[in-house]
Structure 1
Amino acid sequence: MVSAATALGLTAATLAAFAALGVRYARGRVGGVEDFIAARDSAGLGATTATLVASVMGVWILLAPAEAGAAFGGVSAVLGYAVGEALPMLAYARLGPRIRELIPEGHSLTEYALARYGPVMYAFVLCVSVFYMFVFLAAELTGIASAFHLIAGVPRWQTAVLVGGFVLAYTAYGGLRASIFTDTVQAAVILPLLAATAVGAVLALGGTGVVYERVVAADPTLVDPTFLDGLRFGVWVAIAILGAELLNQTWWQRVYAAEDAATLRRAFPTAAVVNFVVVLLAGLFGVVARGYVDLVVDPTSPEYNASVGFFLLLLEAFPEALVLAVTLLALLLVASTADTLFNALASVVTADLPRLLDEPSDRTLTFAARGLTVVVAVAAVLVSLRARSVLRLFLLADLLGAALMVPLLAGLYSPRASEPGVVAGGLLGAGVGLAFYPAPVVRGPLSAVPLLGDALPAGSFLVAFVGAAGVSAATTLLAALVAPGRFDLDRLATAIRRLDDPGTGAGARTDGGGDD
């Protein structure tokens, strides 16, 4: 086992190096709030692709996909997870240019929701988006703290505070520009390191033939790509990831940070391919772990440990040098995602401050953005100290995202989509999803409601996510067909303005999305 002192020393040195890089790069480049939260038109093809890849690849890829492979259906479940991570990138290859065309001076999906639909949809989107991103951030810190505790016995609070503090140091100073730059460097280090880890792991375990034989001996269904349980998991988890990522402010920021629409059309598909391969490789480690480690894969068991299957395999079969390499990889993974989420969460609120304050200055907005980044970081560290699961932290937020993705994005294409219709679609979709959602965190409270508890159907993640997405999409479509008015999509370009525009003030984005 790696010593706690070695792990902490490695953590501090690695994070300090990236903090120094981020601060040095951002010096003189953050002239105001627009630079801090939008970094508009500043990233070329290479930087855009790198930040898209690095922002996805949090420490969760060493936990959640491996858990799926070990406990939820083997290879077929891992394939579904990998497809789910690729789909949002492919969707944004089309959505990104459309967003830039309709809202050239935008910043966030929440200001779009307000201008396109109105205050009710705005509040709905704000709550779901912030909830998802904050859960993602807390899960990242939870994951890295759990990994270091398992590998080296480091107290969880020490890891969470160290990671959160160093990442905050350069994110609060340099904003999105610093995040994109460090993402580029991190991607350049992470991808070769991940490839080397995979190759080293296979060699350490005896080669591909030996690995396959041991997995088959443990459970032959793990390597069956047509295994029905795995396919079911793959379908609903792909919908879950797609829904959540389409409401992730991270990608809306990068739509504007990219140099132009052509950059988006090339960068997002490239990132989709890379993300698919990375998640596939990471998930296969969970399948392999079943052949080498005594994993408890029954999620109802108090001894359940599939969520750390990758790290248990690491400690069981790998030399210390490889353990240290993966420790470094885990650090880079969490840093590349945490800085992105710190800035994304702060930017959602900052973009809306001109509606709440009386003609705030650019300096005031920049100060507020930095202050909000600190608040987000501290809150996430505190939550991570109490959380323990990683995969399940995402599921409820994913369900709400699946129910809201079509209603939100319909307004980019259909002038007949209206606030009553999309809100109804989101609520009905969420209602269906929650009714079938099998996890105790939802089913317990619902079961306690008189009359409602007895009427609840049998729980199923597949039905919950397919139902949430399908019902919300169908309701939104039907409402658009019967809507009496039409929204002029060209209004979005004038309703949403730069934050440093002298004409941007409390009245610039309060009229909502009425129909003509």
Structure 2
Amino acid sequence: MSYLTSAVLGTALLCFALLGLRARRADGPLDDYVTARNSQSASTLGLSFLASGMGAWILFAPPEIGAFVGPVALAGYAIGSALPFIVLGLYGPAIRRYLPEGRSIGEFAEACYGAGVRRWVSLISILYMACFLAAELTAIGAITALLSDVPPGLVVIGVAVTTLLYTAIGGLRASLATDRWQAWLLIALLLVVGGVALVRLPEMPVQAALPAIPVGSALGVALTLIIAVTAANLFHQGYWQRVWAARDERALNRGAWLGGAATVAVVALVGGLGMLAAMSDVSLGEPPIPFFALLVEAPGWLALPALVLAVTLVASSVDTLQNGIASLAVAGSGRRGLSIGAARLVTVVLMVPVVIVALQGLSVLRLFLIADLLCAAIVVPVLLGLWQRMTPLAAVAGGVGGMLGAILPGWVMYGSATAGVLAASFPDSIPTLPPFLGALVASTLVSLMIAWLKPSAMPRTV
């Protein structure tokens, strides 16, 4: 069985590589390599937002939220997963007009506030995407061990090398081309795997009920997820690349709404499976993994398409992250004459530590939460960059205020700054609302106050 599984996974990865390499523009300039400027339709962008935003995380987090917290929190997760696309769809046209030759969130920050803020924003973005990459590759190793006899390390390296091959050679166009096919493939496989698993579910007990969690607590979890996921994903350079890749403003707006709607549907579907598993009294495992618990009652052959689904999910997000990190590093150099060869080298070099971390099989959830909180502390000051009154001082002060706001709830609750810092580092790897809400509110208030008291003297044209 392991030989068949290896052959099927190898074939899937080979197809992704061929699709990506066919889309490359061999003689294109560096700008086309990292932005594919003004070339993509609304439908392509919609599918790309869906595929690049999905990852193996949807097989773990939404089902667990659905099973243990219920539909309200699941709705918050679905909205939070889609909201970054909607924000960029609405805000992106103004960004394109303000920075028509832009390539990254770092360049946007520099145009608004200067090089110092750019370096800060770029660092947070790279940190977040590196955590995302390590988490995705770690997850595919764990899923491989769960569903097959194939060595997990082999699949981790296979996904990393294959996606690296076509993204390093083909750039953003390669990622966009594979996204289209990966989006349709993951939808089809999800319907097959989820449909068969549902058919084989045990009969629902008469006393079956939704998770017994107070509505207030469920709303708190939902709001936490909306803030954390939205703030973090607005620092996903892969999404920012698509702002300039869009054929025009209308294509960007429509593509963002299409990708957002599809993302809400997919997250709700997968999370709903976890909810049904819990209500059917299926053993969810230890630690609980509701989606994979469904496969225990399903036919044995379903493990193979489930594994292909996982590989597709991981490849679709990893190739976007690889290209995003490389483009951010290139744009962050401040040298528009940097060669494509250097950009490719950056892509390869940055993947080495990520793969090493992924092969350790460590949990990166706490790192993810810390990176999410850093993003939440500075996202509003960055997005306020197009406001006429904003200044570098207001942006930096807002970011510092956001970080202080993150530790303030724990400081007040436990009586010391040290305890506040510890609470904001999520020692139990559980997302809690106070640090995120404190970061968001404080950064917003401080930015607005300083911008109002000391507005920019330089007019801006949007």
Q: Flag the 1:279–1:391 CA change in 2: closer, same or farther, 3 A.
A: farther
Does residue 338 in structure 1 map to residue 318 in structure 2?
A: yes
Report the Cα offset of residue 68 of structure 1. 2.1
User: Per the alignment, in what secondary structure is the counterpart of residue 26 of structure 1?
Assistant: coil
Given the superposition, is the C-alpha separation of residues 309 and 232 from structure 1 closer, same or farther in structure 2, using an over 3 Å criterion?
Answer: same
Is 1:305 aligned with 2:276? no
Indicate the residue corresponding to 1:14 in structure 2.
12
Unpaired runs of 5+ residues, structure 2, are: 425-430
Q: 1:27 to 1:422 in 2, by over 3 A?
A: closer
Q: Distance in 1 between matches of 2:38 and 2:178?
A: 17
State the Cα distance separating 1:393 from its structure 2 match.
4.3
Mapped to 2, the partners of 1:223 and 1:101 lie a distance apart of 49
Which among 331, 343, 360 is matched to residue 369 of structure 1? 343
Q: Secondary structure at the match of 2:377?
A: helix
Q: For 2:449, which of 478, 501, 507 is the aligned residue?
A: 478
Q: Are 2:373 and 1:411 equivalent residues in the alignment?
A: no
Distance in 1, matches of 2:106 and 2:398, equals: 18
Which of 77, 80, 85 is residue 81 of structure 2 equivalent to? 85
State the one-letter code of the partner of 1:382.
I
Distance apart, 1:130 and its partner CA: 0.7
Matched residue, 2:33 = 36
Correspondence for 1:70: 67
Q: Give distance in 1, aligned partners of 2:37 and 2:134.
A: 28
Q: CA RMSD in A?
A: 2.4
**Matched position secondary structure for 2:360:** coil
2:166 aligned residue (170, 173, 186): 170
Q: Secondary structure of the equivalent of 2:211?
A: helix
For residue 505 of structure 1, what is the aligned residue in structure 2? Answer: none
After TM superposition, give the deviation of residue 344 of structure 1 in Å: 0.3
Q: In the TM superposition, what is the alpha-carbon distance from 1:264 to its structure 2 partner?
A: 1.0
The 1-side partners of 2:29 and 2:177 are apart by 18
| Deviations, residues 152-185 of structure 1 (Å, cap 9, x unaligned) | 1433322210110111111111010010001011
Could you tell me how far apart the structure 2 residues matched to 1:456 and 1:253 are? 34
Structure-2 residue corresponding to 1:326: 306
The answer to whether the 8 A contact 1:436-1:463 is kept is yes
CA distance in 1 between partners of 2:226 and 2:180 (Å):
27
Instruction: Assess, with a 3 A threshold, how the Cα gap between structure 1 residues 64 and 366 changes in structure 2: closer, same or farther.
Output: same
2:275 is aligned with 1:287? yes
What is the CA-CA distance between 1:484 and the residue it aligns to? 4.3
**Residue aligning to 1:143:** 139
| Residue 32 (structure 1) shift | 1.8
Q: Which runs of 5+ in 1 are unaligned?
A: 297-303, 439-446, 493-516
Q: Quote the residue 1:499 is aligned against.
A: none
Indicate if the aligned counterparts of 1:437 and 1:461 stay in contact, CA closer than 8 A: no
1:4 is matched with: 2
C-alpha separation in 1, matches of 2:200 and 2:420: 53
- 1:108-141: CA deviation from partner (whole Å, max 9, x where unpaired): 0111212211233222211211111111111111
> SS state of the match for residue 230, structure 1?
helix
Q: Say which SS state the counterpart of residue 416 (structure 1) adopts.
A: coil
- Contact 2:231 2:379 (C-alpha < 8 Å) held by counterparts: yes
Match of 2:363 among 389, 395, 405: 389
1:24 aligns with 2:22: yes
- Rounded to whole Å, the distance in 2 between the matches of 1:85 and 1:484 is 34
Instruction: Name the SS of the counterpart of 1:51 in structure 2.
Output: helix
Change (3 A) 1:154 1:486: farther
Q: Offset of 1:24 from its aligned partner?
A: 2.0
Once residues 424 and 78 of structure 1 are traced to their aligned partners in structure 2, the CA distance between those partners, rounded to angstroms, is: 34
1:168-317 matches, within 5 Å, as 168-206=164-202, 210-211=203-204, 213=205, 217=208, 220-222=209-211, 227-290=215-278, 291-295=280-284, 304-306=286-288, 308-314=289-295, 316-317=296-297
Give 1:370 deviation, angstroms. Answer: 0.6
How many positions carry a matched residue from both structures?
453
Matched to 2:58, the amino acid is I
Query: How far did residue 25 of structure 1 move?
Result: 2.4
Supply the distance in 1 between the matched residues of 2:409 and 2:158 (Cα, whole angstroms).
40
Letter in structure 2 aligned against 1:248: H
Q: Is 1:468 aligned with 2:439?
A: yes
Change in 2 beyond 3 A, CA 1:343/1:457: closer
Post-superposition offset of 1:478: 0.7
TM-score between both structures, scaled by the size of structure 1: 0.82
In the superposition, the TM-score normalised over structure 2's length comes to 0.91
Alpha-carbon separation, structure 2, partners of 1:454 and 1:59 = 33
* Native 8 Å contact 1:353 1:365 kept in 2: no
Q: In structure 2, what is the equivalent of residue 442 of structure 1? A: none
- CA contact 2:406–2:438 (8 Å) conserved in 1: yes
Alpha-carbon deviation of 1:197?
2.5
* 2:78–2:267 contact (8 Å) kept in structure 1: yes
Correspondence for 2:119: 123
Distance 1:74 1:232 in 2: 12
Deviation at 1:487, TM superposition (A): 3.2
1:32–1:223 CA distance, 2 compared to 1 (3 A): farther
The offset of 1:349, in angstroms, is: 1.0
* Structure 1: distance between partners of 2:364 and 2:302: 24
Corresponding letter in the other structure for 1:11: L
Partner amino acid for 1:237? Answer: L
**CA 322–431 in structure 1, closer or farther in 2 if over 3 Å, else same:** same
CA separation of 1:484 and 1:167: change in aligned 2, threshold 3 A: closer
Instruction: Judge conservation of contact 2:30–2:339 (CA < 8 Å) in 1.
Output: yes
CA 1:280 to 1:453, structure 2 compared with 1: closer, same or farther past 3 Å?
A: same
Q: CA deviation at 1:312?
A: 3.0
Residues in 2 aligned to 1:462 and 1:454: alpha-carbon distance in whole angstroms: 16
Identity %: 37
CA, structure 1 residues 330+437, in 2 after alignment: closer, same or farther (shift >3 Å)?
farther
